[in-house]
Structure 1
Amino acid sequence: MLRGSMSSIPVNILLLSLLLVVSVSLCFSYGSFTQGCSQIERDALLKFKHDLKDPSNRLASWAGFGGDCCTWRGVICDNVTGHVIELRLRSISFADYLASSGASTQYEDYLKLILSGRINPSLVSLKHLRYLDLRNNDFGGVQIPKFIGLIGSLKHLDLSDAGFAGTIPHGLGNLSDLNYLNLHDYYSQFNVENLNWLSQLSSLEFLDLSLVHLGNVFNWLEVINTLPSLVELHLSYCQLPPVPPILYVNFSSLSILDLSSNYVDESAISMLNFPRWVSHLKTLLSLNLANNNFQGPIPNGLQNLTLLKALDLSINHFSSSIPEWLYGFEHLKLLNLGSNNLQGVLSSAIGNMTSLISLDLSLNHELKFEGGIPGSFKKLCNLRTLSLSNVKLNQDIAEVLEVLLGCVSEEVESLDLAGCLLFGQLTNHLGKFRNLAYLGLRSNSISGPIPMALGELVSLRSLVLSDNN
């Protein structure tokens, strides 16, 4: 009996040893053995804080000697090594602040919530920093510090709406591991001497240079075509110059493309010719080409982009009828063709676009539905926004409401039928539009009393009935 007990001891020891190894492994996997950030990184962060202005005292936790900076607000450390890998210091945008605080809010109050001052070069000491987000702050219109291009470990850099301005330093091209770069700024004006430095960022997946002046960068497409990993590209308000025809684009992963608002005026160099290369981007899910002064028919090349979920061609001068192939885009959730010169008769096949959440055909004065809104509209059960202002319906408003009864009336939140040549009287069908927040019926010939059912629209925030009978 004793011999049996003694012989089982080595087995028990072996089992205990295995359990200890597994436990230690698990501890390392989940970060239980972290030692906190290093003194070098702590000092670097304290120097960085020293040069910032922080009126709301958001960085109050960044204090003390010997404290673990991994516990400081906005600082993220690696679970195992304890190295600082992320700085998340974005502030709330002014638009979001207004929405949450009310229209009476003063801009001076907003400025008390954001960071300003200067960026200390001590950030270069954060040798493992992968993620830097300074969005929605105000650094006073200074140039992006050149030393940011020396933080070679960065993968994510967001300096958008942070109050930087001037020439974008070419040194950002040294950040060869970067996969996210956002430099758009609605309040300042960036410019570049050239974009050649971008070609060094071969891992880039997200690029936003909106509002960066690119009017003299005639090889912008050639350079961006060297970024094969791009998934999302935003170049709105860049004054993009026209480029020579290109036979091949290397955007095999591109899902979102925004080239909107690159038309300036007749005297300026701008992207006046429709970018034919776009029709080769068969992976696109979202395409925004609004406000570019494009003319002529809607290009048939777009019919290749059958995966599109969002298409915005608004505020141009397209003058054709809506092509039949567009009605076959079954994945489209957003279609904006507003503010063009489109003409002709809208097909009832529009009812096949059952994924639509937002449809805007407004301000196409020569566009019309033959016989009014077709019954096929009843199938657009996902619609939240419908804008047909100035489209010639020439229809009784009671018929319009009846067509939209059912799943459309249950979901739609915004309905704009201004200037649609509507007549007749509003009916109690209006009470079925329970989620309606905006109803625009101005500049029609609607007459008679306002129905009591209007009082049932508990979500209604804006009602426009002016210029009727």
Structure 2
Amino acid sequence: MWSGAIPPSIMALHSLRALSLSFNMFNGSLPNPGLCELKRLQELDLSQNNFEGTFPPCLNNLTSLKLLDISDNLFSKTLSSDLIQSLPLSLEFIDICHNNFQGLFSFSSIGNYSKLEVFMLTGYNDRLQVDAQYPKWINLLFQFKALILSDLSLNSIPQFLFYQQKLRVIDLSHNKLKEKFPIWLLQNNSNLKFMNLRNNSFVGELYLPSYEIRNMVWLDLSNNHFTGKLLEDFGDKLLGLQYLNLSQNQFEGALPSSLGNMRDLVYLDLAFNFFSREVPNELLVRCCKLKHLRLSYNRFNGQFFSSKFNLSTLFHLELNNNEFTGSLLNVKLETLEILDVSDNYFKGPIPTWANQVSWLISMRNNSFEGQFPCQQPMSTLLLFLDLSHNFLFGPLPSCIDFTSIVEIHLEGNKFTGLLQNFLPNFSSSLSVLNLRENSLSGVIPDLIGTFINLKLLILGKNHLKGSIPKTLCLLENISIMDLSSNSLSGTIPSCFQNLTFGVMKNDGETLVQDQLQILNEFTDENHIYGHLIKKNLDLVVDIMAVGLNEIYLVDKNRGSSYKGSILNFMSTLDMSCNDLTGEIPQELEKFTQIRALNLSHNQLTGSIPVTLSRLSMIESLDLCCNNLSGNIPPELTNLNFLEIFNVSYNNLSGQIPKKGQFSTFEESSYEGNQFLFEPSLEKCCITNIKTPHLESLASNVTKGKWYEVDLLAFRACFFPTYVIFFLLIVSLLYINPHWLKVPLYFISNINYLLNLSFFNKLSC
């Protein structure tokens, strides 16, 4: 591989007809006017380097030049009309894709290139735009055979395409086209082999010409807004199709049985639509060349693996997130590299051929039962294994090869046994180990500390016991650790300060990526796009990657499943619901990037460390149901991202902070602490015991001051009551006059005593 500048000695080769410097590391600007001295040059390929600046205007002197490929470089100048028109008119092939060009490109600038057959241009960060319109008085002389205009923010199909009759390849992907399917492109170009309209906003139903489209090999309409059902004769009109991608649209209804007539089909992707009913048997029996089949995220049902299933050469099979039923015992797929049947209704034992799948196995959320078949070792190339949320039992699979495996998800089953009998002594590849919600017993083995690249360790909801091994402190790349709901005892190791719980990098996304490459299907006869260099138009399209992380965590007081890129922003330590003792280590202050810390439901003692105020990124802190004492450090109010804070049911005392985020926390965050009080109340305890007096007082406080009286209501009640009472007394005395003597006698005695007291004072 060459690097640096282009050797000047090449410029002395005046008779040179073809020059290819592709796939090197040349950099700097192009020699000027060095290349322009090669007057007989017909083909110049500078692709896949690090050239920058712009190409020399003097290339116009190369009057014999037919092929120019400067793709995949760092050219960044404005792609002006003058710059384009400086190229020789003899060009037949121009590829300027994957650079940093900017400005506005107009097709009128190449209108005079009558020999031009291949033109490739892609944008970069919306810096380059294409003028789809052109003045009608300009006569565009070219007739393209291949046109690629990708990622250019096009909002309408270029007008000149209405007059193109020789197209074999058309790529308008990753733009902003919002119109109906351009059926006229098929009608005007009978030799069209490749059509890519991916990632636009095409709408409406998908209509095809009334006749068979014989030459079409590749059709990609994915990630648009197509609706309705596929035509019943869809497959009959595209009999020669090898690649069909209709994923991420809004198609609905049953698949037409005519798809089974597409006998040359190699890749079929119908994922992320609303297709329903059973997959037609014709597709599963006749399309024997299928290697890649994606039906995930639809509403298909019925038995997919019937007795007539005949797709024995599949490499890639994704059926996840449908309603398929039945078992996998009726078929034998020994060539599979990717198998995803998750989130369906499959049941029965896992077939023995499953452990020969070489890249990815995902069977989560089904009803598989029994033990995993380990009659023979699993593939040494296996990267991803997900058997979670089934009814598997017995010991953990002993046939897993830890040589290259990256993720293991076995949670939500009934696996038993000792963890140390399952794990190897060392693993340099394992990144995710999820064994949550099983019946594993014994201690956490020390050898986990040798898994140097482990980022997610999920062991919650098992029957593990013993102390937390200090070897876990060696997991310097850990981001999520869940040891909750076990019977772990002892103290929290202070060496946890070595764990930074940093946010994951480049994880949580996709694990396995596949590619499909159909060579030389789109080049003209005898490599017309390159006489000497033989520049083939090899089109490689990435298949949607599979193998997303899906992790169940209790975070912010609720249990949720997290999947995909969201895991990139999570970092959690959960040791709740154990029997841990001792104090919270001061060293936890080193977790500056952690988002959630849960130490609840243990037997921790001592005070809440002030150093927890240094967890600047924390969003959830749960310390409830322990034996913590002392006050709540006011320094914790500096945690600006804190959404959940719970210290209930401890022995805390003192004043509750009411600054910053702490002003939003409810009383339930502090209940069960008899000596905590609000700042506004003088040592009024926050407790779960509520007396009627306090409840009445609290009720009155919410309505106003307790001593305030409504005078209007008081008068309305008092005077009628007074009148009724007076009339009642008068009536009683009238009925029985004898009762009147009693009060009169009482008054007479009082009067006698007062007079006697008065005369006694006078006599003194």
Verify same fold: TM over 0.5. yes
d(CA) in 2 for partners of 1:360, 1:163:
39
| Residues 388-403 of structure 1 mapped to structure 2, 5 A cutoff | 388-397=575-584, 400=585, 402-403=586-587
Q: Secondary structure of 1:382's partner?
A: coil
Q: Which amino acid aligns with 1:376?
A: C
d(CA) in 2 for partners of 1:281, 1:389:
30
| Residues 284-295 of structure 1 mapped to structure 2, 5 A cutoff | 284-295=405-416
In the alignment, which residue of structure 2 is the partner of 1:86? 220
Deviates more, 1:425-434 or 1:297-306: 297-306
Q: Secondary structure of 2:423's partner?
A: helix
**Distance verdict in 2 for CA 1:70–1:262, change over 3 Å:** closer
Q: Secondary structure of 2:430's partner?
A: coil
| Residues 7-406 of structure 1 mapped to structure 2, 5 A cutoff | 14-15=40-41, 16=62, 18-22=64-68, 23-27=91-95, 28=118, 30=120, 33-34=145-146, 60-62=178-180, 66=184, 73=200, 84-89=218-223, 117-121=228-232, 123-124=234-235, 125-126=237-238, 127-128=240-241, 130=243, 132-135=245-248, 137=250, 139=252, 145-148=256-259, 150-151=261-262, 152-155=264-267, 157-160=269-272, 162=274, 164=276, 166=278, 169=281, 171-172=283-284, 174=287, 176-179=289-292, 181=294, 183=296, 191-194=303-306, 197=310, 199-202=312-315, 204-216=336-348, 218=349, 220-225=350-355, 227=357, 230-242=358-370, 245-249=373-377, 251-263=379-391, 271-274=392-395, 276=397, 278-280=399-401, 282-298=403-419, 300-303=421-424, 306=427, 307-364=429-486, 366-368=487-489, 370=490, 372-383=491-502, 384-397=571-584, 400=585, 402-406=586-590
**Distance verdict in 2 for CA 1:309–1:240, change over 3 Å:** same
The structure that is helix-richer by fraction is 1
What is the root-mean-square deviation of aligned Cα atoms in Å? 3.9
**Distance verdict in 2 for CA 1:308–1:462, change over 3 Å:** same
How far 1:170 moved relative to its partner?
7.6
**Distance verdict in 2 for CA 1:340–1:83, change over 3 Å:** same
Q: Secondary structure of 1:342's partner?
A: strand
**Is the 1:198–1:224 contact (alpha carbons within 8 Å) kept by the matching residues of 2?**
no
TM norm structure 2: 0.46
Q: Which amino acid aligns with 1:344?
A: G
Query: CA deviation digits over 1:271-315, x for unaligned, max 9?
Result: 223453542353210010001111121252431671210010000
d(CA) in 1 for partners of 2:612, 2:390:
41
d(CA) in 2 for partners of 1:329, 1:178:
35
**Distance verdict in 2 for CA 1:241–1:426, change over 3 Å:** closer
Q: Which amino acid aligns with 1:393?
A: L
Q: Which amino acid aligns with 2:283?
A: G
**Is the 2:346–2:366 contact (alpha carbons within 8 Å) kept by the matching residues of 1?**
yes
In the alignment, which residue of structure 2 is the partner of 1:460? 642
d(CA) in 1 for partners of 2:250, 2:426:
38
**Is the 2:436–2:458 contact (alpha carbons within 8 Å) kept by the matching residues of 1?**
yes
The structure that is strand-richer by fraction is 2
How far 1:150 moved relative to its partner?
4.9
% identity of equivalent residues: 22
d(CA) in 2 for partners of 1:241, 1:161:
30
Q: Which amino acid aligns with 1:159?
A: A
Q: Secondary structure of 1:251's partner?
A: coil
Q: Which amino acid aligns with 1:233?
A: I
Q: Which amino acid aligns with 2:229?
A: R
TM norm structure 1: 0.71
**Is the 1:316–1:339 contact (alpha carbons within 8 Å) kept by the matching residues of 2?**
yes
Greater radius of gyration (CA): 2
d(CA) in 1 for partners of 2:280, 2:643:
44
**Is the 1:85–1:131 contact (alpha carbons within 8 Å) kept by the matching residues of 2?**
yes
In the alignment, which residue of structure 2 is the partner of 1:99? none
Q: Secondary structure of 1:211's partner?
A: coil
